[in-house]
Structure 1
Amino acid sequence: MLPAVPDRAVDELGRTEGGPETLGLLVRDQHTRRLLLLRAVLDAAESAGPGVCPAAALARLREDWALLEEAERLEPSAHRRGRPYRDGPVSGRPDGSVPVSEGPRGSVPVSEGPRGSVPVSEGGAVPGNRPPPSPVRALLLHPLTGPWARDTLRALRSGTGPLTGRDTREPARALAHFGSLAAVAAARAGVSYAVRLTAHDGVLTLPSLGALRTGGPGSGETEVAVVHRRGRLTLRRPGEADVVVRLQSGAGAWSEAAAWTSAYTLPGLVLDSAAVPLDDLDPYRTARGGPRPDTLSGPAVLDEADRKHWLHTWSGTAAALGLGGERRLAEAVTLLRCLVPLAAPPGSVPGGAGGSCSGTRREAFGAVLSSAPATATVFAATLVHEIQHTKLAALSEMMTLHHAGPEARHFAPWRPDPRPYDNLLQGAYSHLALADFFQRSALAATLPTLRDAAWAEHARYQAQVGAVLPALVGSGDLTVRGRKFVDRMVEVYERLAEQPPPRGHAARATAYVQAARALWTRRHAPGE
C-alpha cells in the first residue's frame, strides 16, 4: 500500500517548500516504486518467451540475482562490524529458482530516507548521521538504475507481440547490465566471486566504480571475466593483460591501467552529507534511442579540466543556495543523489546566453542533468529549478492534481510553443521557486552588483509566473487537492509581490512578457 499524502505536505509543496517529513515521504514512495519496477522486470523476464528472453539470458539473470541475494545476506554484519569476505565463487540455487517475496525477488527493504542522505531540519541544519545504506540498496535505488529498469521492462514487453522492427537482441543486452549492478553490489558487500560480464560497443561499465574500455565504438560485444577477492577486482579479456582495480570507499575504484576510468564524485554539499556522483559513464544516464527533449543536449564525457571546473563551481554552490534560503539548500541535500553532465547546446556560446541546459527524468528520481555551469550562482539556480520538477513529478505520482488532457494550447512566456496544462503547471512551479530564490538572494546580498542581478532575475520570473497563474487557477480540470496546491502557489506569488523589485527591473520584466505574448499570439492564436 503506497502512503497517502497528508494535507500538510500538499500545503508545503504548494509553497515550493517541503520539510523533512514531506521530502522523506516523496523519497520513500519513489523507493517503493523502484522496487516494484524491479519486480516487474523480473516477472516480465520470467514470463517472456525464448524469442524475447533467451534461456541463456534468463539463467544469467537468475544467477545475477542470486549474487545480489548473497550480498544482501552479508549486509547486516558488513555494516555493523566491518565487511567480511567469503572465499569461493557464488552460485545460484540448484534449480536456478529465485524466491518471491512481497517486493522483488530477494527484495531489499525500502530505506527510511534517500540514498546516503542525512535528514535535514526545518532550518536546514544537518543532524546526526544515519548508517550508510547496504550496497544492494544503494545500487537498486540509485537514480540511474531507474532508466535501465524502465528500458528493460519496455524491451521485454514490446517483444511479446508481433515483431515491429525492434532489435530482438535488446532485451538480452539490457538484462546483461543487471550483471554489472549485481557484481558491483556484491563487491561492495565483500562477497568473493568469479563471473563473466559483457562489454558493449567497447565499454564495460560497473556503476559507481568506473568503466573498462575494451575497444572502440561499434566494436560489438566482448566477454570480460571478473574476479573479486578482498576489495580487488581482476578484469580479464582474451589476448589482453589483466586489469586490476581496487575499490575505494564510497565510490570509485583505482587502477593504474590506462583502459580503466574511475567513477568521479563531488563532495557533499554540506558537512557530513553524502558525496554526489558526477556520472559521465553510465550507459543509461541519458535517453537511449528515443526522442530527446528539444532543450537538452547529449551526454558529455569529462576530462580532467572539465572535472576541475565542475568541482570549482560546486564548491560555491552550497553558499549560493543558502543565500536564497536555507530550505533550498536543505532540499538539495535531501533530494540530489546524482549529477549527469551534458554537452553544451549546439551553437551556444560557453558562459553566454543559451550556453547551458538542464533537465530531470521521472524515471531517474534524484538525478539532475546539466551542462557545465558558468558560476556557482547559476548552478544554484539550476538546482532550485530542477529540484522543483523532481518534487512535483514525485507528488503527481502519489495523487491526482488535475484531469487536464495533453493538448498543447497554453501560453508560457518561457517557451515559444504552446504547452499542455501539466507542463504549464510544472513550469510555473519551478519559476515560482526561482522568483522566491532570487528575491531572497537580492535581500541578502551585500554587493550592489549581486543585489541588482538578483532583482533582475526575480522580476523576470515573477512576471512570468504572473502571466500564467490565471490559466492555472481558472482551470476546471483541477481536483480538490490540486486546487489546494495551486492556491498555495498563489499565496507565495502574492507574498513575493509585497516586496517588489526596483521599478526599472519590474518594467523590463513586464515588457519582456508582453513581447513574448504578442509573438506567441501571432504564431499560435486561432485563425492565424
Structure 2
Amino acid sequence: MPAPARYLGISAAQLTSLARGRDHPGIASLLRRAWLSRNLTFFAAVSPAPQVSATGTGQSPLDTLIRAQQADRAAVDSVLTHPRFGAWAAYCATAAPGHGQFADPIGFAASFAVAAALRAGIEFALPIPVVGGVGVVPGLGTVSGADGAYLHVRGHHGRLELDGGQTWNPVRTWHSGASTLEFDDLPPTPAAWPDQVVAPHWMPIADTDYDWWKGCFETARQLLDDTVPELAHPLAHGMRAVVPRSHENTGFVSSTLVDAFGAAAMITPVDGMGLATGLLHEFQHSKLGIVLELVPMIACDTEVSLPSPWRAGPRPPSAVLHGVYAHLAVGRFTRGLARANGSAELAERADTAHRQTVKACATLLDSATLTEIGRTFVTVLRRTVDDDARAVAAAGKE
C-alpha cells in the first residue's frame, strides 16, 4: 500500500501570530519548507527536458545537483530556495516557448548546478549561459572573460578552476548576526523584474554607490532591531537579497515577485529609514505570498476588484490583503520611530497608515471575497492595527 500523501499545513496559532505581527517560532521553518517544495514542483516540470542533460561534458546539471545533494544537502537546499532559483523554475514551467528575452532559459539549470556544486565542494564541469558578457553563478558571483553564448566552468573542492583571462567576481554581501543579505546587482536570469533587461556588457554598481547602500543597510538594521525586534528577527532570517534598480528604468520604490521569495527590488534609498521601510514592506509581501499558497484566504480574486487606499484604481482582493499586511508592519515601525524621536511628521505618517489599513480591512470584511479563514485572519489584522496604536498612545501618557 502506498504511503499516504503528506501536506504542509499551518496551524491556527501560527496564522494568528502572523496576523499579530509576532511570528510563531516555527513560521520561518514552515515558510522555507513550503518555498522549497514549491520550487521543486516547478523544477520537476522542466528537469526532464533534453536541454538540461545534453551538455556535452559527460555531466548534466541534474546529475551535478544530485551529487551535490548527496555531499551536502543543506548547501543544495540553500540554492534551491534562492530567490533566483524560484523565479527561474516558475518561469520555465509556465512561460510559453520563445517567450521573453532569453534564447535558452532551461540552460540556466547549469548555473544553479554550479552554485550548488561550489557550495557542496564537489567536482564538476558544466557550460553556463553568458549574460551581459559574464557567466552568472546565482547567489555567488560572476565569471568574466566569457567568449560566446556559453562559458565552460570547472570546479574542485569548492573552488572554481579558471582559464587564463577569466576572473571571478563574488557577489557583495551584508552581514547581520548569523544572517547574510546579498546585494544582487548581477545580470538578470529568466524571470527577472519586468524592467530588468540584458545589456550587452554588464557592470556592477559602482563602489561609491555600493558604499551608500551599505551605510543605509547598517542604519536600517539598527533601526529595525531597536524599534520592531519582533519583525526584524524574521526579516533577518528570511530575506536573502536586495536587487538594486535604477531610478530611470522603474516606476516603483520597491517591489516583490511572488516567485522570488526573500528578494526585494529597490531604487537607491534616501537614507537608512527608507531602506528599513522598504525591506520591511517587501518581506511582508514575501511571507504572505507563501502563506496564501498554503491557506486559501481569498474565495474570489479574478472577477472582483476592490477600492484600495494605496492605489488610484481598484485592485484584486489579494492585492488589498497584501497592502494591509505590509502596511501593518510599516505603520508599527513608523509609529515606534515617531515615539522614539518625538517626531510629529512621523506620527502623522503612522496615523495615515493606521487609517488606510483600517479602511482596507473594512473593505475586505464587507466584501464577499474572503474564505472563513480569510475573514478570521483579516479580523485579527484589524484588531492588531488598533492595538498597536493604543499601545503607543498609552506609552506616551506614562
TM-score by length of 2: 0.86
SS at structure 2 position matched to 1:197: strand
**Structure number with bigger Rg:** 1
Displacement of 1:455 after TM fit?
0.8
Shift of 1:331: 1.6
SS of 1:137's equivalent?
A: helix
Partners of 1:411 and 1:419 within 8 A in 2:
yes
Q: Which residue identity lines up with residue 277 of structure 1 in the other structure?
A: E
Q: Is the 8 A contact 2:36 2:77 kept in 1?
A: no
CA distance in 2, matches of 1:197, 1:343: 27
Q: 1:197 corresponds to which letter in structure 2?
A: I
Task: Name 2:66's counterpart in structure 1.
Answer: 69
Q: Displacement, 1:229?
A: 3.5
Indicate how the Cα distance of structure 1 residues 311 and 166 shifts in structure 2: closer, same or farther if over 3 A, else same: closer
Deviation at 1:200, TM superposition (A): 4.0
Q: Which has the higher helix share?
A: 2
Picking from 13, 21, 37, the partner of 1:16 is 21
Partner of 1:95: none
Aligned residue identity for 1:430 = A
Equivalent in the alignment of 1:266:
174
Distance 1:286 1:460, change over 3 A: farther
- Looking at structure 2, the residues matched to 174 and 23 of structure 1 have their Cα atoms a distance apart, in angstroms, of 30
Provide the secondary structure at the position in 1 that maps to 2:135.
strand
2:181 maps to 1:276:
yes
* Alpha-carbon contact 1:321-1:329 (below 8 Å) kept: yes
The structural deviation recorded for 1:42 is 1.5
Which residue in the other structure is 1:491 paired with? 383
Question: Following TM superposition, by how much is the alpha carbon of 1:307 offset from its aligned partner in structure 2, in angstroms?
Answer: 1.3
**Residues 431-442 of structure 1 mapped to structure 2, 5 A cutoff:** 431-442=327-338
Report 1:84-483 matches (<5 A).
133-134=74-75, 136-155=76-95, 158-159=96-97, 166=99, 170=103, 173-214=104-145, 221-236=148-163, 241-243=164-166, 257=167, 260-268=168-176, 271=177, 273-284=178-189, 287=192, 301-344=204-247, 357-407=253-303, 409-443=305-339, 445=340, 447-448=341-342, 451-483=343-375
**1:214: Cα distance to partner?**
4.4
Q: Are 1:2 and 1:29, in contact at CA under 8 Å, matched by a contact in 2?
A: no
For structure 2, the 5+ residue unaligned runs are: 1-5, 197-201, 394-398
1:105-161, Cα deviation, whole Å (9 max, x unpaired): xxx5xxxxxxxxxxxxxxxxxxxxxxxx32x22212211111111122235xx34xx
* 8 Å Cα contact 1:388-1:433 kept in structure 2: yes
Contact 1:207/1:282 (<8 A) preserved: no
Q: How far 1:203 sits from its partner (Å)? A: 2.3
In the alignment, residue 482 of structure 1 is paired with which amino acid?
G
- Relative to structure 1, is the Cα distance of residues 422 and 4 closer, same or farther in structure 2, using a 3 angstrom cutoff? same
Tell me if the contact between 2:79 and 2:85 (Cα under 8 Å) persists in the aligned partners: yes
Q: Which residue of 1 aligns with 2:42?
A: 37
What secondary structure sits across from 2:112 in the alignment? helix
* Secondary structure in 2 matching 1:208: coil
Kindly state the Cα deviation for residue 491 of structure 1 after the two structures are TM-superposed.
Answer: 0.8
Q: Structure 1 residues 285 and 200 mapped into 2: Cα distance closer, same or farther (>3 Å)?
A: closer
Identity of aligned residues (%): 26
Distance 1:169 1:498 in 2: 52
Change (3 A) 1:209 1:414: same
- Which moves more between the two structures, 32-41 or 482-491? 32-41
Query: Secondary structure at the residue paired with 2:162?
Result: strand
The CA distance in 2 between the partners of 1:16 and 1:26, in whole Å, is 15
Change (3 A) 1:195 1:417: same
Residues 375, 285 of structure 1: alpha-carbon distance in 2 compared, 3 angstrom cutoff? farther
1:362 match: secondary structure: coil
3-state secondary structure, aligned to 2:186: coil
Counterpart amino acid of 2:180? Answer: A
Structure 1 gaps of 5+ residues are 47-52, 76-107, 109-132, 160-164, 244-256, 294-298, 348-353, 502-528
1:388 Cα shift?
Answer: 1.4
The verdict on how the C-alpha distance between 1:499 and 1:67 changes in structure 2, with shifts beyond 3 A counting, is closer
- Confirm or deny: 8 A CA contact 1:26 1:394 kept in the other structure: yes
Q: Is the 8 A contact 2:52 2:109 kept in 1?
A: no
Aligned-residue offset at 1:429: 1.9
TM-score (norm: length of structure 1):
0.66
- Is this contact kept in 2: 1:10–1:484, CA < 8 A? no
Which letter maps to 1:176? Answer: G
Task: Give per-residue Cα distances to partners, 1:216-237, cap 9 Å, x unaligned.
Answer: xxx9x4343323244542334x
Q: Deviations over 1:18-39 (max 9, x none)?
A: 1221232222211222222222
Shift of 1:487: 0.8
Shift of 1:441: 2.5
Distance 1:233 1:292, change over 3 A: closer
Divergent runs of 4+, >6 A = 59-62
Question: For 2:302, what is the secondary structure of its paired residue?
Answer: coil
Distance in structure 2 (CA, Å) of the matches to 1:301 and 1:368: 17
AA aligned to 1:343 is S
Shift of 1:468: 2.3
Conserved in 2, the CA contact under 8 Å of 1:404 and 1:422?
Answer: no
Q: What is the CA–CA distance in structure 2 between the aligned matches of 1:487 and 1:139, rounded to whole Å?
A: 37
| C-alpha distance in 1 between matches for 2:123 and 2:41 | 28
- Conserved 8 A contact 1:143-1:367: yes
